[in-house]
Amino acid sequence: MADQIRSGAWSASDVVEQALDAVARLDPILHFIDQLDAVSAREAARRLVPSGRLAGVPFLIKARTPAHAPIVTRLVAAGAIPIGTSTRARVGAQAQTYGWNGSDYTRNPWDPTRSPGGSSAGSAAAVAAGVVPLATGGDTGGSLRIPAAFCGVVGFKGSYGRVPRTGRSLGGLTTAGIIGADLHDVVAATSIVSGPDRRDPCALPHWPTPDLRDRQWRVTYQAGLCGSFAEPGVDRVVRDRLVASGLTVVDAPVELQAVDAAWETLWALDTGRGVDGAAISHATEVRNHNDTVLADLLHEVDALVTPTTLTVAHGYDRYEESIVVGDLCWGFNVTGHPAVTVPVGLLDGLPVGAQVVAAHGRDDIAVSIASQLEVGLPPAPVHAGRHSSLSPDAGDERRSV
pLDDT along the chain (401 residues), means of 10: 96 98 98 98 97 97 96 98 95 81 96 96 98 97 97 98 92 96 98 97 96 91 96 98 96 95 95 93 98 98 98 88 86 98 98 98 98 97 71 37 38
Q: Taking the CA of residue 347 as centre, how many other CA atoms within 13 Å lie in the half-sphere pointing to its CB?
A: 27
Domain 2-387 = CATH 3.40.50.620: no
Among residues 93, 72, 92, 74, which one has the least CA distance to residue 82?
72
The Cα–Cα gap between 212 and 74 comes to 23
CA-based R_g, the chain, Å = 20
Among residues 255, 120, 243, which one has the least CA distance to residue 178?
120
The Cα–Cα gap between 186 and 190 comes to 6
DSSP 59-70: EEEETT--TT-H
The Cα–Cα gap between 196 and 299 comes to 28
Q: How far from 218 is each of 111, 225, 246, 256, 372, CA to CA, in Å?
A: 35, 19, 10, 20, 12
Residues labelled catalytic: 62, 119, 143
Residue-level length of the chain: 401
The Cα–Cα gap between 133 and 55 comes to 13
The Cα–Cα gap between 269 and 282 comes to 13
The Cα–Cα gap between 377 and 397 comes to 8
Neighbours of 119 (CB within 10 A): 30
Among residues 58, 108, 98, which one has the least CA distance to residue 79?
58
Among residues 342, 3, 393, which one has the least CA distance to residue 179?
342
Q: Taking the CA of residue 113 as centre, how many other CA atoms within 13 Å lie in the half-sphere pointing to its CB?
A: 2
Helix axes of 260-270 and 277-300: crossing angle, nearest 10 degrees: 120
- Asked if residues 270 and 169 have their Cβ atoms less than 8 Å apart, the reply is yes
Phi, psi of 7 (to 5 degrees): -75, -15
Q: Between vectors from CA 178 to CA 175 and to CA 179, what angle results, nearest 5°? A: 125
SS3 at position 97: coil
DSSP 183-203: HHHHHHHHHHH-S-BTTBTTP
- Asked if residues 76 and 82 have their Cβ atoms less than 8 Å apart, the reply is yes
Among residues 40, 35, 64, 49, which one has the least CA distance to residue 2?
49
The Cα–Cα gap between 256 and 392 comes to 49
- Asked if residues 89 and 119 have their Cβ atoms less than 8 Å apart, the reply is yes
